[in-house]
């Protein structure tokens, strides 16, 4: 029996951004499958509806891959694929497997010789990098930095030094409700002429993307409270 295909389905980053974030091919793919692995069922069902799903949601098979269920063997989620059914994987926002869950499922699919197809869609990391004006030939994404203040200060300074040494863009994030104190830490830890890009609410109507020196940011600090944001650090050699 021929096995199914695992489709990696990006999810919009901002409410109402479907028309500028999702391709017609992705939407057609959504309407051709009825089984999904999702990080957040509520978010996934809403995204499917807003994307233009015509299949009745009551007929969908939804596998919950939230953090409370990741102790289950990945093979459990792939039974439909082994039976020849196509399956979609959706994280809560952005691209599955990139700063989001999904890599374990994809790795298991490869081990089972199951075809994996990544679909085009929004990635906050790449969109922020594109708009930053920083080095897009060499960059590194670190996710969340240490919570401990001393460790965080040290890590930020290390990233600044790495950027200067390698000419490499350093990318990181923070939980939205901690953005303001986090930004304050970055502005205090970095040298005045180091450049920082802040990209918040990407693809939303109030999208905010600016690149300035640390010295200039200190003069006008934005309010990022509860706004999904990406931070990019760059220091010329």
For the chain, the domains span 5-118, 124-234
Tens-place pLDDT, residues 79-115 = 999 999 999 999 888 999 998 888 989 999 999 999 9
Tens-place pLDDT, residues 158-175 = 999 999 999 999 999 999
Q: Is the pLDDT of residue 176 over 90?
A: yes
Tens-place pLDDT, residues 7-25 = 999 999 998 999 999 999 9
> How far apart are alpha carbons 169 and 130 in whole angstroms?
11
Q: Is the pLDDT of residue 29 over 70?
A: yes
Q: In CATH, which superfamily holds the domain spanning 5-118?
A: Tetrapyrrole methylase, N-terminal domain (3.40.1010.10)
> How much of the chain, in percent, has pLDDT values that exceed 90?
84
Q: How many residues does the chain have?
A: 237
Burial 139-161 (b: 16+ CB within 10 A, else e): bebeeebeeeeeebbebbeebbe
Residue-level pLDDT at 31:
94
CB 7 within 8 A of CB 29: yes
Residue-level pLDDT at 236:
83
> How much of the chain, in percent, has pLDDT values that exceed 70?
97
Was domain 124-234 assigned CATH 3.30.950.10?
yes
Residue-level pLDDT at 71:
67
Rounded alpha-carbon distances, angstroms, from residue 79 to 9, 33, 38, 108, 145: 19, 15, 15, 12, 37
Tens-place pLDDT, residues 38-87 = 988 998 999 999 999 999 999 999 998 877 766 677 778 899 999 999 99
Q: How large is the angle between the packed helices 179-189 and 149-166, nearest 10 degrees?
A: 60
């Amino acid at each position: 029996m021929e096995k199914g295909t695992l489709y990696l389905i990006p999810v919009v980053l901002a409410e109402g951004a479907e028309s500028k974030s999702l391709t017609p091919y992705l939407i057609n793919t959504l309407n051709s499958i009825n089984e999904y692995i999702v990080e957040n069922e509520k978010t996934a069902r809403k995204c499917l509806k807003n994307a233009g799903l015509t299949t009745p949601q009551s007929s969908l098979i939804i596998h919950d891959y939230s953090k409370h269920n990741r102790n289950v063997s990945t093979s459990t989620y792939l039974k439909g694929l082994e039976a020849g059914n196509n399956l979609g994987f959706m994280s809560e926002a952005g691209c599955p497997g990139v700063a989001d869950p999904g890599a374990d499922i994809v790795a298991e699919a490869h081990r089972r010789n199951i075809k994996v197809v990544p679909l085009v869609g929004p990635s906050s990391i790449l969109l922020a990098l594109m708009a930053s004006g920083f080095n897009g030939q060499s960059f590194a994404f670190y996710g969340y930095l240490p919570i401990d203040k001393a460790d965080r200060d040290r890590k930020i300074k290390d990233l600044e030094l790495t950027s200067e040494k390698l000419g490499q863009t350093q990318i990181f994030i923070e939980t939205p409700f901690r953005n303001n104190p986090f930004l304050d830490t970055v502005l205090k830890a970095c040298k005045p002429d180091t450049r920082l890009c802040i990209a918040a609410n990407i693809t939303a109507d109030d999208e905010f993307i600016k690149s300035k020196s640390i010295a200039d940011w200190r003069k006008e600090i934005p309010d990022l409270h509860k706004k999904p944001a990406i931070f990019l650090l760059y220091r010329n050699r």
